[in-house]
Chain A
Amino acid sequence: MKRFRRHGHESQRDRLKQELYQFSKTVEHGFPHQPSALGYSPSLQLLAIGTRSGAIKLYGTPGVEFMGLHDENAAVTQVHFMPHQADMVTLLDDNSLHMWTLRRHKGLSELLEIGRFMLMGPPGAPPSVTRVTAVLPHSSGELLLLGTEGGHVFVVEVPGFRELEERNISLDQVSNSVPVDYIGRRNLEHVEALQENPTNPSQVVIGYGRGLMVIWDLENQCAIQHIPATQQLESMWWTEDGSYILSSHSDGSYCRWRVGGQEETEEEEEKEKSDIPYGHFPCKAITKIVQLPTEEGPPFLLFSGGMPRASYGDRHCITVIHSKTHVALDFTSRIIDFFVIRDGLEQTGDPSVLLVLVEEELVVIDLQTEGWPVIQTPYLVPLHSSAITCSQHVSAIPLKLWERIIAVGELQKTHYSKKPWPITGGQNLGPDPPQRDLLLTGHEDGTVRFWDASGVCLYPLYKLSTAAVFHTDADPNDNLNQSAEGEWPPFRKVGCFDPYSDDPRLGIQKIHLCKYSGYLTVAGTAGQILVLELNDEAAEQTVEAKVVDLLQGQEGFRWKGHTQLDVREEPVLFPPGFQPFTLVQCQPPAVVTALNLHSEWKLVAFGTSHGFGLYDYQQKNNVLIKCTLNPSDQLALEGPLSRVKSIKKSLRQSFRRIRRSRVSLRKHHVTNSSKLQEANARLEAELAEMELAPVQRKIEARSSDDSFTGLVRTLYFADTFLSDSSHNTPSLWAGTNGGCVFAYMLRVPAVEHRADEPVTAQPAKEIQLMHRAPVVGVVVLDGHGAPLPEPLEVAHDLARSPDMQGSHHLVVISEEQFKVFTLPKVSSKMKLKLTAVDGSRVRRVGVAWFGSNCKEDYSESGLIFLTNQGDVHVVSLPHVKMQVQYPCIRREDVSGIASCVFTKHGQGFYLISPSEFERFSLSTRFVVEPRCLVEVPLHLDSSNPHRAEPGGATSAHRTTQHSEDAEVLQEIQKSLEGDQTSFLENNVKHAVA
């Protein structure tokens, strides 16, 4: 009988678990790591980025995001949208072609891979014959032209990837027609570029590596014109009126060639000109050239590269020339690709926006506003413009604070263009975020960035810099790089990626924001703790440093680590935003390892490897200093960072050297060299692993003599029962690396005396866990077993006031186990062992609230934690029972595990690369994921009157005939999907034909 009841209870709990917990990785925020290809569909208004790891990401209007991953772990080298379709072709490093499509499913669009293809050459042919170097999706949307390393052009029918062998353009066909005088008919080399005549779809130009360009008639299978350039070809551009072809070359020159016949006049002959824009001395290649007309006035000419090799060979530049304006946009990292968005529904008007993908960021430039300002990107923001050192998530920000942060953030964005975001494809069907969430990231350069983490787009709101408080040896050379008058080339720096920190001591290690009071405290690498207050006005003030000696007379210590930062003694003008008003400087200036702020009591608690302290930021004095150091712990004394720092410093210097001397490689060699680099990196990683991982591990119980036992891991404020069960008092709890918990009873004067009576702290309890594992969290549970609310939460009516009637409990979370103690008399009540059972250790822990997705009113609190094995678990409170476990991060991904941060509502973030956060959710109720729909717009051929020309029309007709079956199938499919637009489009095509 009893057993049955128990079983019933178990299954009930299991059902409840399903209602409460559900794991999914929902969205990736930030900038893709190692992008390698860029694509854009003017008709869909979608942007596609391929990466070296084989991922493909599509972005439209903010909130519209798709992500796909190729099964092959090869770099994406090219991305092309099929004209006027929702299809996309990708070329990978392994020479495979893939067809992707956006398909509608349950009212939402999904990105699906629908086909893959590998070019097959004739038997016995060398692999270079079929190695694809250039891809041209034909404007008919039915053909794909593939230029190869062997110099052939293969024609493939899509979406089925059927080779049309009879239409292939072989190298022999072309070279037979080459005039004899062209450099003795030597090898034409690979196909470097393919372009379609914008006015006549039956004509394409084939550019060969040696420089020869051939205009080929697809209809009649013959060469129409030969353009005998002599320099190594880099790229081609067919002007919109079809009358000129621009070619760019490896010597930094570009040429303009007249298209059509021999009967050109003297004047036209003159137009066939060649130019090395940054000439005289040898220049680097111009890798891509684009020319776009304007309604009235001169055209825009844009090209990347072409810089003088010796003096500016390391710059990553795109030159934009329009009329008298000539600017060389100087980017922060290697240029992957760029394109221009044009005005008008059919994207045929004036160029309006230049969009550049560089290795570390996406830069969008408004070409229609004076000065060509940059447009703030709503997504793809480089999180790592300086390396992320820590992060904090704050849920449910009150509207007032939210608006103030946005307001001060707007003041920082005045240099951005007012133009709305130009990429507007798709519809965001996701619900409005239920609350306003902030993600705060601390960076190596001493900045704290505030991100709107409520929805799918991680949008930058505000940036706080703490460097102004200190004297820093900022690199004076950086300022010299600013463009001087009359400088040639006329450089203009764009982009915000700047990984080189002036001083690593500025790095932010801990952040704590109180969302109710607007107080923020940040702590850094050199033992500095700043308390800041949000101020809507700029203010000039002196920040006084209060030095706290954490050693407390412990003798025989010599700190060999870094020195503390020099504080500016003169008043500093702080812009509107969070302004520091107090600085606590720990001595020795070791990295701050724990931080907490209690805005109601106006106290800040901080800890390092030497001890912890409590600071009263209203009266600006120390309340408590406690040294936790073990006198025999020499490592903690000497400053473990000293060595690491020097390595880091030298690394930084060598990176700078490399950056200066780096020579941008030719396009084709990049893939090879990157492959080589990858292989080398792998080998190096393996070697490092062999060196780092000793073959054996010592089995020994922890002892008090271990190193860094005094390191403070966690600090916690609680209003609870420390001395007797009838009076609750404020208290401070500190947990150390050595498995020790210290509790202090605080006396905080009543509000009316807060300014003049001292705050006192008195030691109350000390717990030494026998297993001595590091204490990573301390939580006090109220009489109902719920975690105590945050400071001011109750005052703002946002939380139920804690139950002070029932007895409180203390939960101590060590790396190895969860343990519940009674209060006020501390005695062990229950525990959950983790490491002893499965060998994993707690790395990150947070309190989270889970709501049932079935019963609106049911919710419970739990502890959500991440282990060193990369698994996320939920443990129930107050009974510390394991609820669920999901694999989340690879256990080798140490930085990913270290970067993980949890929200109060069962979500989390971790870095999947230096520049990207992966968002995951354990909650059934709070899931933030993209929900979007992309529809293929109605396409009328009116935009291109030439298409109706007899030649073009027959060509279209013929291809239609060829692919009749495929098209019928497609039609059926599309009509089944209810996609009226494409149906119409097809009808129109047929009518035209």
Chain B
Amino acid sequence: MVLAAGPKRTEPSRMSRQLPPQQKTPIRLTDTVVEVKSKFEAEYRRFGLKRNGSGGFQEFYRLLQTIHHIHGVDVLLGYADIHGDLLPINNDENFYKAVSSANPLLRIIITKREDEPVVYGTNSLQRRKKGLGLTGLRTTGSGTIHSKSKSGLMIGPPQNFRQISSIIDVDILPETHRRVRLHKHGTKKPLGFYIRDGVSVRVTPQGVEKVPGVFISRLVRGGLAESTGLLAVNDEILEVNGIDVAGKSLDQVTDMMVANSHNLIVTVKPANQRNNVVHRESKNFMGNSGSVGSAGSTGSVLSHESPSPASQSNPITASSIAEGDSEDEDDDGDIILENDCPTAYNPHLVTKRNSVKLNGESSCSGPHPSAVGRPLPQSMSLPSSIGASLGYSSNTMSGHNGSLASSSQDSMKDDGTELTL
């Protein structure tokens, strides 16, 4: 099943010879040939591929370009595995995996790289077929799946995936705390959690002290908070975007979170302390604080606490703030529509026209067809995904409204209004 690396050099010529594009002869007689059905836009191609004799990914890529006559077009390859999942082909390894898993047909889907990002993952093929391609997101451990094909393995943040959450500032927080960042941008997904008042226990030199605290009371199924897996019911909220919530009412904390909802950073003390990130100095830290079973404490609400978060300064690092500002600063989020007036206001002109009685009315309504009574397009607001898609669609949007309508789901009537960002 797995091809050896050796015969790679000789493959390309053989492969192209062996696989005439429109060949319909049954090839499944032999186990050595894989039937391939590749699709690019609306076109299908069927061809055979030698199971153990074929070359690597690069050759296969070029072969498909040739077959579909799309030389010079940057494309992404994907295949459907036995579970119906759409998985990428972008290196030798997953190419071999694809070939080997063909059962019996190997279905290849080719997409242009400029198009909307293809989402790979569980059930993604079905969803794609249903037109829900954008919603399925999955964080997979392997970064290689979506690394660039040409430059081989790429180290760095994934490009075709959008980050929805992260644990930050692990190095400066005590390991009993967790600072979670939720990226609300783009997704229609609700943040999806509720908070409540509760009682927290702090260990002070005077003894155990009960203080009011704010806790997560519920996670909405399918919400962002739940899907990250980083927040859980009964986690105590200590900070919102770096600001200590001690002494603040539930309503105040709610308002703070809503106000920061586009880039929410909550510092929690997880009710379940078993999955804590243990950083390098953890031993030191535990030794010094002598906290009561901080790492192994049970998931009770009234979990133990060594130093109060208020007394301890856990500043959000400069990097996280800078990141937040550059990505999510709401300045960029404000949508401003400006009506570039067809005629600049010129009192002389208007009065002159009005002096001609017949034209009086038409002159008023003429240059300003939308002046009185005509409602502006109802949906001014761009979809909230705009923050995310801003990166690569801003140039199209500021161009003209036609492309704007296509890139955003809400339609925009051509009203002479211009969008500037």
Could you list which residues of chain A lie within 8 angstroms of chain B, going by C-beta atoms? 552-553, 623-627, 631, 695-704, 723-724, 727, 729, 740, 745, 747, 750, 753, 757-758, 760-771, 773, 816-817, 825-828, 831, 833, 835-841, 868-869, 891
Contact = CB atoms under 8 A, between A and B. Distances in A.
**Leading 10 A-B pairs by shortest Cβ distance:** A770-B333, A839-B252, A701-B261, A835-B259, A766-B337, A836-B259, A839-B256, A697-B254, A770-B330, A696-B196
Interface stretch (B58-66, B143-151, B201-209, B368-376): B368-376
Count chain A CB atoms within 10 A of each CB in B193, B337, B347 and give the residue with the most. Answer: B337
A816 B334 contact: no
A695 B334 contact: no
A764 B371 CA distance: 10
A838 B259 CA distance: 10
Given A699-B193, A723-B341, A762-B370, A836 B336 contact: no
A729 B350 CA distance: 14
Interface in B391-421: 417, 420
Interface stretch (B26-34, B89-97, B377-385): B377-385
Contacts of A827: 336, 420
Given A701-B262, A769-B334, A828-B334, A740 B345 contact: no
Given A816-B259, A835-B255, A761 B372 contact: yes
Interface of B: 184, 190-197, 217-218, 225, 241, 243, 245, 248-262, 330-341, 344-345, 347, 350-351, 354, 364, 368, 370-373, 375-376, 378-381, 384, 387, 417, 420
Contacts of A869: 252
Nearest to B376: A763
22 contacts: A631-B378, A699-B261, A700-B190, A700-B261, A701-B191, A753-B351, A760-B364, A760-B372, A763-B339, A765-B339, A766-B336, A766-B417, A769-B330, A769-B333, A770-B333, A770-B387, A825-B338, A827-B336, A837-B256, A838-B252, A839-B248, A869-B252
Contacts of B379: 704
Count chain A CB atoms within 10 A of each CB in B217, B338, B370 and give the residue with the most. Answer: B338
Contact of A766 (B331, B344, B380): B380
Contact of A695 (B197, B251, B417, B420): B197
B183 to A, nearest CB: 12
Contacts of B258: 699-702, 835
B223 to A, nearest CB: 9
A698 B251 CA distance: 10
Contact of A767 (B241, B335, B350, B372): B335
B94 to A, nearest CB: 37
A625 B339 CA distance: 18
A757 B338 contact: no
A837 B243 contact: yes
Contacts, number: 170
A696 B381 contact: no
A621 to B, nearest CB: 11
Contacts of B347: 750
A770 B334 contact: yes
Contacts of B339: 762-765
Given A701-B184, A757-B354, A836-B260, A745 B253 contact: no
A518 B379 CA distance: 41
Contacts of A835: 255-256, 258-259
Given A623-B372, A817-B259, A837-B243, 8 more contacts: A696-B194, A764-B341, A771-B259, A771-B262, A826-B336, A833-B259, A838-B252, A839-B249
Contacts of A840: 252, 255
A699 B257 contact: yes
A765 B334 CA distance: 13
Contact of B380 (A747, A758, A768, A770): A768
A836 B261 CA distance: 9
A836 B324 CA distance: 14
A700 B217 contact: no
Contacts of B218: 696
A699 B191 contact: yes
Contact of A740 (B195, B354, B380): B380
Count chain B CB atoms within 10 A of each CB in A696, A764, A768, A891 and give the residue with the most. Answer: A696
A623 B336 CA distance: 24
Contacts of B255: 816, 835, 839-841
Contact of B335 (A552, A627, A770): A770
A768 B194 CA distance: 27
